[in-house]
Structure 1
Amino acid sequence: MTVEDTQRSPAGPSEQRRELAARLLAARRRGTGDEVPRVPRDGGLLECSPAQRRLWLAAQADRHSATPNVTLGLGLSGPLDLAALDRALAALVERHETLRTVFVNSGGEPRQMILGRVEAPFTVVDLGGEPEAERVAREMALAAGGERFDLTGGPLLRLTVYRLSPSEHRLLLALHHITCDGTSLGVVARELATLYGGGVLPEPAAVRYADYAAWAAARARPQAERRLPFWRERLGDDPAVCVRFPAQEHDPRETRRTGTASLQVGGALVEALRGGAATPFVTVLAAFMVLLHRVRAETGGGAGPGVTVGTASAGRARREFEQIVGCFANMVPVRVRVDGSLGFRALVDATRQELGAALANEIPFDTLVSGLGGRRRPGVHPVFQIAFIQRDDPRPPDGWAGLRAFDWGQEVDDTAYDLTLTMTPHHSGYDLVFTHRLDRVSRRAASALATAFETLLTALSISPDVPVDDLALPALDGFGGPLTDPDGRIRPKAQAPGPADEALAAEAGRIWCEVLGVPRAEADADLFELGGDSLAVTRITAHVKERLGVELPAWVVFEAPTVTGLIGALVASRGEADARD
């Protein structure tokens, strides 16, 4: 299974056999032209990988929601050498190019630029005088983990040490997801521990992330052409929003944009659900599909054509990529038609088949969205709004030079989707955390989902062959209010251009036509229905900056994707500039 962060089997061939197999495969690839070529490091702009492009576009598209950071939380007991930790962080940044990379908008296209030297922020917060230092550290780390990074200026990582006492420290390493995925985080944790302890790391792989990025981008183009028909057939009739939830009522005192609800399930329960026929990941994903199917039916959403959930593909199909730090992960939609007259075991099998088919036809997510076409809704994630992710076992690595290291897992506090279910293994089972955007899912609704899921998992393990629609669930407390509007937010009303703005409007219309390849700019024609995509939006804003001298954020066009909306934004921007002058 190539789903990101799934557990790896400890069984396998010996190291010698693995090395021999890797050499034979490398030789075969060289013979077929499939080796990864090296790109020049001359300080210029380099192509982004499909994963980097997806995350860069996501950052441009929505001013309210951005891709969450990747965080590593560690507790350290014993005398911590702060100077040694600072040196270890600097050596880690020097070792991995992605930790010294920034991103620029080049004519509407994202490009990466590797910097020669980057000093990563290293902050020590002394909480020795706090009576509840542990609680304060957790609260501060929760806020720090969600602080955004500047993709253009960098650096895209920071390390914060919370000093509770001379012998107790808590570490939070935060990185932008564009530089690091879940698998890379394990590499970072191991190498940081080794470097702190004065250990020697093996030479970095000959292939670096920038080499992979150019190689992956070139391979993705022909694959997308072959595989798009599969996705059009699978997802063509999906509604814009799969499941609608009641949103949190606005509270001006609320400082957080997301909330969480969690439960723990024992390993024995998951084993009973599996029945020996599926992985824990597939089993819990199938149960999650059943939960969403029941929620949609019981809140008036009807049965629908299927339930679509996004999950992550690791993207590391080759051994030479295993120790590279970077974002290889791709989001893959999995759509399952949940037939309520079937028992759970039949639905597990259906989920496994759909997941396998989705991974076999995987293409970069932004390419998939562009290929499907259709209207984009402001504030609504395209294709799916609900995700299911499995994380690695959080046990920290050895090598902290006599310190006792332990997981200091932070509450999963951010999500790019309306709702994300995160599954994390521990010694006796799994932690399941529902993370939700408060403007899309209320706290009461999320708590009700967690309670209902716990009940459902038990019922499915006891009665795996009973039709899933016949299983009793607790009342969905918190679902009595109005459901969120599928259109998310109200699009801004466009300002009509006055006589003084006619030249500006004419040039905006020419830009619109050039980028979209249309003969004339119809006032209210939707950019996405004209065949445009996220890159078309960033190209339009790049041309606007170059030719009109106006710097419009891309989200302005995403929220009002018509030429009238573009002109209105330009008029408003010019008015604001005149007022400042």
Structure 2
Amino acid sequence: APDAAALVRRVAVDGRDPDEAAAAELTAARDRLDPASGVNVQLVWLDAGDDPGRLLVVVHHLVVDGVSWRVLLPDLVAAWAGADLEPAGTPFRDWARRLPAEAAARTGELPLWKGILDGPDVPLGARPLDPARDTRGTARSFTVELDAATTRAVLTTVPAAIHGRPTDVLLTGLARAVAAWRGDASPVLVDLEGHGREDLFPGVDLSRTVGWFTSKYPVRLDASADLRETKERLRAIPDNGIGFGLLRHLDEAAGAELAALPVPKIVFNYLGRMETGDGDWAVASVAGGADDAMPLGHALAIDAIVPAAFGELSVTWTWADGVLTEADVRVLAAAWFTALRDLAAAGDAGHTPSDFPLVALDRADVAELDRTFPDLADVWPLAPMQQGLYFHALLDASATDVYTGQLVLDFDGDVDVEALRDAAFELPARHPALRTAFTQTVSGEPVQAVLAMPPCDELWREVAADESELPALMAAERTRRFDLTRPPFLRFTLVRLGERRHRLLLTFHHIVLDGWSMPSLAGELLALYTGQRPPRAPDYRDYLAWLARQDRAEGDTAWRRALGGLAAGTLVAPGAPDAPPGLPEKIRVPLGPELSGAVTATARRFGVTANTVVQAAWGLLLARLLGRDDVVFGATVSGRPMELCGVDRMVGLFINTLPVRVRLDAAEPAAALLSRLQGEQAELLPYHHHGLGDLHRLAGLPALFDTMTVFENYPLDPSLLGAEIGAGTRLAGVDLLDATHYPLTLDAVPGDGLQLRLGYRTDVFDRPTAERIAAQLVGLVRALAERPDAPVGTLGLTGGDAGALRETFAALAAQAPSA
């Protein structure tokens, strides 16, 4: 390593012209750079005695780029002050060593780059570039400034209006200026320089890495394009063009093809805003240099920078003398500034399809979304379960929406109503998934539009009631429909039951929240109520992006195998309408300590879960009621992929309802059925993200089931119940109410003892029938738990009502399917 002390010099310049002294020492410092010997840096202190001096910091371009200066200069100031420096980022060497493999992985981009370069390009100037004549030493240049008002517009307000970047505006103006200057509206081929610090590799952080990362890639600009068209053209280039340089220089075959194609005659580089600082460490000037014999790479180079925040855009134009004249370039420079002023005044605004990469939209879709939702922030696809719930919500806008759930929190003590209300209003602001509106594109594809902050006029209300009025009040909240185009889809009702008793009803639509989200959301609400600021959970968007990356073919194969040979779906009430007339009712059946213990012991003995025991019992029940040995029912899965960071804290709809197939072998022991069922379900675990509609297609059936099971093992912190929530307030009770549109839904709720809740649609079953179904189910759970060695053929319905139940189900099954 070179001697650091040898890289620093002090030169007395008192009595000399400061600018002349700086220029002379700058030239001398450049001459001392010797990359081959590891001498890449020179620092020269121009000591002016009692007057302010200057420090020249000279670094070879091989080891530094524009972004590096934003690291080096603050570190230099901090080191001079004796402060500790922040850790450096990923070493440049580590980054460079990964690039050859990355180049090989990007050969699919080759047609893109060939298409950009292999098009028409109008000649620029009087003759082609000659590397023998056109060198750095013979080049000419001048610098001009754009007025501060236009600079502010083209760098801030105009790109913000189109949700773009300053380069979108600068390049749109440049394309128009070049077309006007040369009198030809053909596309303009430009080399564009970028910072090159792309997010390519997991765990790599280049934010504080010093090195030359600059990328350069060609773009073809349309002079007739508006701002948003130019933005879309630039966004279509993967990873800001880094692949071009990788293929051109690190892949032999691709490099040879690209080298044979024309190269742009113009290069453009926008360096951004350079903070000049103030006081003793203010940046006086920024300059570069090169060997005079170095051939020019382009006939015209345009370098733009803003020396200070919102100052004037400073543009240096460098050209090959003899190819262009100064008069030519000044006319072009003036035309560009004119085009930028026109763009600043034009008022173009709105999103473009590239703003929403998770969905396939065209400009008509985006324009309609912008018109409908003026505060549009993002557009997401629907998760599989969301698609199903959206369909059900559209079936009958006047019917009860059974997918409206309710979280119930009971408080004892002195509730700070204002603090609780403020906490409630913070939840939509903290979770984009709670700010989505559900709509359709022009072609009818459902999407969810994420709003910056929707109106929350109906988010909170307060009422007084007594215990006798509570059931009706709670039911009224659950039957009041949400308009899925007007978020947020949750509302709070604080019920004052007495001087020191309150019940908080959090009514929500399942399309944005599932049961597994509720403990996180409730915990966050209570933390905010007590003045804490819990960390924000990762966005639901991360899950939707994960979903889009999954290999559908592999999952299709697994599900096709699981459903293979299934002759028909298992429908207990095919004639029941899809939209129930009201909320289903539920029968609660605690299994008691003895049977709950037996279920747990049997599950542990045979290495299965209590959920598997319940599912096997439900499958047996359906088989015995319908007289079949191959049945299917739905089961709710959490749908949260463990490989997705922070998924346990995310708020949104992750659950999915998927088919569980139970095939019965009369001679098989019950324990073997349990093991086989759990094994079959475990094989499907990686594919829990498949949508039910896709599974219907794979099975070749219009419907697979109309009953379902839910095992409610929500991650609720039991310590919250009964805990002090703020001064003088105690959380006295928690409950979660929800339902489905299916004729029968079985909820299994673990706890001190296993509790079964049988939900039934009152337009399909009366309560006595539902009670008999529940009783038969408990009998089958007992048989599995207490007689695991018994052959499956010996486990059936019991009691005198078994025949009547079979007749009831036979009559329902004989009904024609609903339209």
CA deviation profile, 1:224-254 (whole Å, cap 9, x unmatched): 2222233233325435541526999xxxxx9
Residue aligning to 1:151: 484
Root-mean-square deviation (Å): 3.3
* Mapped partners of 1:193, 1:43: distance in 2: 28
**1:487 CA displacement:** 6.1
Residue aligning to 1:235: 563
Residue aligning to 1:75: 410
* Mapped partners of 2:471, 2:789: distance in 1: 43
Residue aligning to 1:137: 470
Q: Are residue 114 (structure 1) and residue 450 (structure 2) matched?
A: yes
* Mapped partners of 1:86, 1:44: distance in 2: 27
* Mapped partners of 2:782, 2:431: distance in 1: 45
**Counterpart pick for 1:273 among 572, 594, 602:** 602
* Mapped partners of 2:636, 2:623: distance in 1: 17
Residue aligning to 2:178: none
Is the Cα–Cα contact under 8 Å of residues 285 and 388 in structure 1 kept in the other structure? yes
Secondary structure of the residue that 2:447 maps to in structure 1? strand
The 1:335/1:62 distance shift into structure 2, 3 A limit, reads farther
Residue aligning to 1:400: 725
Structure with the greater alpha carbon radius of gyration = 2
Q: What amino acid maps onto 1:112 in structure 2?
A: Q
CA deviation profile, 1:24-43 (whole Å, cap 9, x unmatched): xx998557x9xxx9968963
Is the Cα–Cα contact under 8 Å of residues 247 and 438 in structure 1 kept in the other structure? no
CA deviation profile, 1:55-111 (whole Å, cap 9, x unmatched): 323433577685612321111111222211110101112111111111111121112
CA deviation profile, 1:407-453 (whole Å, cap 9, x unmatched): 3425x552132211111122x21221011223333423221111112
Residue aligning to 1:335: 661
Is the Cα–Cα contact under 8 Å of residues 389 and 423 in structure 1 kept in the other structure? yes
Residue aligning to 2:383: 49
**Counterpart pick for 1:93 among 416, 428, 444:** 428
* Mapped partners of 2:613, 2:201: distance in 1: 37
CA deviation profile, 1:380-409 (whole Å, cap 9, x unmatched): xx3221211111266446562131213342
The 1:487/1:57 distance shift into structure 2, 3 A limit, reads farther
The 1:442/1:467 distance shift into structure 2, 3 A limit, reads farther
Secondary structure of the residue that 1:341 maps to in structure 2? coil
Q: What amino acid maps onto 1:467 in structure 2?
A: P
Residue aligning to 1:126: 464
The 1:148/1:478 distance shift into structure 2, 3 A limit, reads farther
For residues 401-416 of structure 1, the aligned pairs below 5 Å read 401=726, 402-409=728-735, 412=737, 414-416=739-741
**1:329 CA displacement:** 1.7
Q: What amino acid maps onto 1:201 in structure 2?
A: P
* Mapped partners of 1:332, 1:353: distance in 2: 16
Q: Which runs of 5+ in 1 are unaligned?
A: 1-25, 128-132, 249-253, 377-381, 491-558, 560-581
* Mapped partners of 1:368, 1:356: distance in 2: 20
* Mapped partners of 2:414, 2:708: distance in 1: 40
**Counterpart pick for 2:494 among 161, 165, 173:** 161
Secondary structure of the residue that 2:485 maps to in structure 1? coil
The 1:142/1:247 distance shift into structure 2, 3 A limit, reads farther
Q: What amino acid maps onto 1:171 in structure 2?
A: L
Q: What amino acid maps onto 2:635 in structure 1?
A: G
**Counterpart pick for 1:194 among 514, 522, 527:** 527
Q: What amino acid maps onto 2:447 in structure 1?
A: R
The 1:135/1:211 distance shift into structure 2, 3 A limit, reads same
Q: What amino acid maps onto 1:73 in structure 2?
A: V
The 1:438/1:74 distance shift into structure 2, 3 A limit, reads same
**1:282 CA displacement:** 1.9
* Mapped partners of 1:269, 1:138: distance in 2: 35
**1:478 CA displacement:** 5.0
TM-score (norm 1): 0.67
Secondary structure of the residue that 1:201 maps to in structure 2? coil
Is the Cα–Cα contact under 8 Å of residues 48 and 217 in structure 1 kept in the other structure? no
Q: Percent identity?
A: 28
Q: What amino acid maps onto 2:394 in structure 1?
A: Q
Is the Cα–Cα contact under 8 Å of residues 555 and 690 in structure 2 kept in the other structure? no
Q: Between Structure 1 and Structure 2, how many residues are aligned? A: 436
Secondary structure of the residue that 1:153 maps to in structure 2? coil
Is the Cα–Cα contact under 8 Å of residues 246 and 478 in structure 1 kept in the other structure? no
Residue aligning to 1:209: 540
CA deviation profile, 1:114-160 (whole Å, cap 9, x unmatched): 22223152122211xxxxx3242134213423433111122211111
**Counterpart pick for 1:441 among 735, 740, 765:** 765
Q: Which runs of 5+ in 2 are unaligned?
A: 1-198, 205-237, 239-353, 358-374
**1:217 CA displacement:** 4.2
* Mapped partners of 1:336, 1:288: distance in 2: 9
Comparing 181-190 with 46-55, greater Cα deviation is found at: 46-55
* Mapped partners of 1:142, 1:61: distance in 2: 21
Q: Are residue 225 (structure 1) and residue 553 (structure 2) matched?
A: yes
* Mapped partners of 2:676, 2:547: distance in 1: 32
Q: What amino acid maps onto 1:57 in structure 2?
A: F
Is the Cα–Cα contact under 8 Å of residues 260 and 413 in structure 1 kept in the other structure? no
**Counterpart pick for 1:422 among 722, 739, 747:** 747
The 1:374/1:135 distance shift into structure 2, 3 A limit, reads farther
For residues 394-543 of structure 1, the aligned pairs below 5 Å read 395=718, 396=720, 398=723, 400-401=725-726, 402-409=728-735, 412=737, 414-426=739-751, 428-471=752-795, 473-474=798-799, 475-476=801-802, 478-481=805-808, 483-485=811-813
Secondary structure of the residue that 1:429 maps to in structure 2? coil
**Counterpart pick for 1:284 among 614, 638, 660:** 614
Higher relative contact order (CA 8 A, sep 6+): 1
The 1:27/1:319 distance shift into structure 2, 3 A limit, reads farther
